[in-house]
Each structure stands twice: as structure tokens, then as C-alpha cells.
Chain A
Amino acid sequence: MIDVSDVYKSFGQNHVLKGVNLKVHDGKSMVIIGASGQGKSVILKCLLGLTKPNSGKILLNGIDPNSPQKNIILAKVGMLFQGGALFDSLPVWQNVAFRYLHGKQKINAREARKIAIEKLERVGLKKSFADNFPSQLSGGMQKRVALARAIATQPEIIFFDEPTTGLDPIMAQVINSLIRELVMELGVTAVTITHDIQSVRSIADEVAFLHNGIIQWTGALNQLDKSNNKYLKQFIAGSTDGPIGTLR
């Protein structure tokens, strides 16, 4: 379970998060939506312990990701970064099997490669790509490799940061479907941040809408279109008329 209570985060005079509260139950897929610059990525960085909140409490399966025990929880976390964040200097299979080649879950390289190839095939990539370098792959393929890396060690929680950014609509839908399948198959708790409504409809069990540094609305996916929240309605409609200003 992910529990975010009253989290504040500022960068100088820029108050990004102003009391965020959010609960994600085990095995559920929560999608956080919101306009650009509203703090979605900052929430994700706080959840991963990459940024420390000014105040408030974050617990991932009961452990604070900013505490000295952060490595216990990070070992159970998978993360798909917006740009993939694959290591340029390592071939694809070593990216996927990174945790098996380094650190506490280390196994021999042959076993690690075998697991990496299994995961690559699970996300629809042929094993012939295993020895390529990330720069030799297309954007969609890189996203798949990053997805394979995120699921490589059977995580309990997976975070997805803008999983379809930069992809064509067909490839975006392929990635959305893969994410949904993997979340169902692995039974993991998932948190996705996106502003792609198509992704929301494909991935989410529950949706949270972030605006002005707080969660303005949260509910099940089937309640999304029935909400009367004026910010959310404008966001879903993609309208320029409404309370969300276009001047940022």
C-alpha cells in the first residue's frame, strides 16, 4: 500500500506540492493526472526517495522511502522513466538484468542474461535485440526495454512516468496495453503519472487529479467522466476555456 499524507514540497519560492494526500491500495493501478508543471513528477520523485518532501509522510508498504531503510523498499520497486533512462554504455540485456548483475540480488551472468531475454520477450522484443545498445533502438523499443527492466525483479510496486510520451498513437496503445497486462499478471500496485487521457482509460483502476499542488479529485475510473469538478472537466475535455489558465 502507498500512503501519502499531507506532503509539502517547495523549490525556493515555488510551492509545488501544498498538502498532497493519496492512498493506493495493494494491487490497484492509480493514475495521477494533471496539467504540465503541476507537480506530478515531483510527487513521483518523493515516492521514490529521489526528492525529500519539506513536510508530510510517505509510506510504501510501511517504509519511508526517504529513511535509511530506503533500499529495502527500492528493492521491491520498479520504475519506468519518461525517457526510458536506459544506460547508454550497457547493452540491452545488461540494462534489463542490471539488478541481477549488481548489488544484493546478484546472480551469474548467464542466468541474468536468460532472465533478461525472458523479460524482453514478455514485452514483445525479440532476443536478437539483447546485444544491441539502447541508442540502436527506436523510441518505442526503448520504452519496452525500460518496461522489461522495471518488471525484471518481480517488483511489488511499479511507477510509470509518462509512459507514452513521444510515441505514436499505435505504439502508445501497445505500451498502455502492456502496462495493463503486466499490472494484472504480476498483481502489483502501480502508480502512473500522465496527461494522456487515453493512457488513463487503458491503465487506471483509480484516478487522482492534481492541480495547484493538491489532489483536487480522486475516484474510480468509471467515475471520471461523471465528476463535477470544474478543473477535471476542463482537463478531460482539453478545453482552453475554464479555470485552468493557459498562461503558465
Chain B
Amino acid sequence: MIGLTAQTGRIFLTFCSFIGELIIFCVRVFANILTPPFYIQAFFSSLIQVGWLSLPVVGITSFFTGGALALQIYAGGARFNAEEVVPSIVAIGMVRELGPVLGGLMVAARVASSIAAEIGTMKVTEQIDALTTLSTDPIKYLVVPRLIAAFLTVPLLVGVGDSIGILGGYIVGVTRLDFNNSIYLINSINYLELWDLLSGLVKGAVFGCIIALMGCFFGMRCEKGARGVGQATKSAVVSASVLILAANYFLTEAFFSS
């Protein structure tokens, strides 16, 4: 019994210490965002890594999701003779939920893992220490450019993903479900509101921050060896994914509960 209590206590203390580390890390990062020096080259490099190179995976995911969503809504709607809602539900579903969440999860898998592996490898090969000895703050040089890049590019990726998802739904609707193409398009647009689009983009910005912070945090606390890098990568992806899903719920609650 004492052993179990001690074990529970140790796990709780480790968890508290982890949360404390994470909070201190986030405070340090946000405190460094607005103060010079700014590493412009590192920022543009991150823009390409996070944004441009994630475009194919987000686009493909969104396209197939939009198509599958159209089929599901059609099948479900047919039970209530409401097949005509397919275009509007696909559009609303994509921009409010599936675009941001699936886009965020795909970027988390691609980017959080690569950031954690890259920074983790830098940590175990003493490159982070080398930065410090070269009078360069690793937070400013490695974390801030990635955070800003993810904050700016993930909403753009979400926007592109939304459009491609709606396109996927449109192609399936017109070619498989015999919708009239102009009616499909009109119904897609007519039922969308500006806030539907904006809420998805805000979610994208929040998810971008989560992805970059998790990738950098687990990379910076990476332990020695290949196992350490693997562990950091896995932790970054899992944490980013879980936090994206949790943040999505709370943002949806905040935006749409009324």
C-alpha cells in the first residue's frame, strides 16, 4: 500500500514538474517574441518547412475527407429525404471542424515530429550548447522563428485545406451523387457565414502555436542517444495531437455554444 502511494506520489510530482517546465518554457518563448535580435533567415526557412512543404499532405487529406463527407451526409440525409443538405453540410463541416482539426493533426504529424527530431538531435550533438557559447539564445534562434511561422502558416493551410475539401465534396457530389454542379456550388456558398470561415482560421492559428511549441519543447528537453530523440519525437506528436483535439473542443465551445 505504501509502495503504491509512493509510486502515485512520484508520478504526480513528475507530472507537476513537467507542467512547470512547460509553463516556464512557454513564458520564455513568448517573452522573446518581441525583443531583438530577430533571425529573419531562420524565420523564412521555417515558413517553407512548416507551410509550403505541408501543403501536399494537407491538400490530399482534405480532398478525400471532403469526398467521404459528401458520401456520408448523402447516405445519412437520404433517411430523412434531406439529400439536398450535402453541399452546405460539407462546406460548414469542412471550414468549422474537419479542415482545421485534420489539417492541424496532419501538420502536427509532419512538423511537430520534424521539429522535435531536429532540435533533439541538435541537443544531443551539443549544437544547442554551441549556440549558447556563440552568444546566441537557442530560444530566439530555434523556437521563436518556428512558432511565428507555424502561427502564420497553419491558418493559411487550413484555408487551402477547406477549399480543397469542399472541392472534394463537389466532385463526389456532381460525379457520384448526381448533383447539378451550379446548384451544388450555390448551396455550398449560400449557407456559409463569415464567422464559419474565421473560426476555422483562428483554430488554425492556435493549433499552429501548439504544434511549434510541442515540437520545440520536447526537442529542447531531449535526452541523450537515438532513444532520446525517438522519445522526444513521439512525445511531441502525441502531445500536439491531444492538445489540438482538446483545444478544438474548448474553442468550439467558446465560439458556437451560444
Q: Which residues of A contact B (CB under 8 A)?
A: 45, 48-50, 71, 74-75, 77, 79, 81-83, 85-89, 98-99, 102-104, 149
Q: Per a CB cutoff under 8 Å, which of A48, A79, A83, A99 touches B125? A: A83
Q: Which residues of B contact A (CB under 8 A)?
A: 37, 39, 45, 121-122, 125-127, 129-130, 132-136, 141
Q: Which residues of A contact B39 (CB under 8 A)?
A: 102
A195 vs B132: C-alpha distance in the bound complex, in angstroms? 25
A99 vs B132: C-alpha distance in the bound complex, in angstroms? 11
Q: Which residues of B contact A99 (CB under 8 A)?
A: 134-135
| B37 touching A103, Cβ below 8 Å | yes
| B125 touching A85, Cβ below 8 Å | yes
| A85 touching B127, Cβ below 8 Å | yes
| Minimum CB–CB distance for A114 against chain B, Å | 19
Q: Which residues of B contact A98 (CB under 8 A)?
A: 134, 136
| Minimum CB–CB distance for A125 against chain B, Å | 19
The listed residue with most B CB atoms (<10 A of its CB), out of A86, A98, A102, is A102
Given A102-B37, A102-B39, A102-B141, do A83 and B132 touch, yes or no (CB 8 Å)? no
A82 vs B126: C-alpha distance in the bound complex, in angstroms? 9
Residue of chain B at shortest CB distance from A73 = B135
Q: Which residues of B contact A89 (CB under 8 A)?
A: 45
Given A102-B37, A102-B141, A103-B37, do A87 and B133 touch, yes or no (CB 8 Å)? no
A74 vs B121: C-alpha distance in the bound complex, in angstroms? 24
| B136 touching A102, Cβ below 8 Å | yes
Q: Which residues of A contact B129 (CB under 8 A)?
A: 45, 48, 50, 81, 85
| Minimum CB–CB distance for A22 against chain B, Å | 19
A81 vs B134: C-alpha distance in the bound complex, in angstroms? 12
| A104 touching B126, Cβ below 8 Å | no
| B130 touching A85, Cβ below 8 Å | yes
| B126 touching A87, Cβ below 8 Å | no
Q: Per a CB cutoff under 8 Å, which of A50, A75, A87, A149 touches B135? A: A75
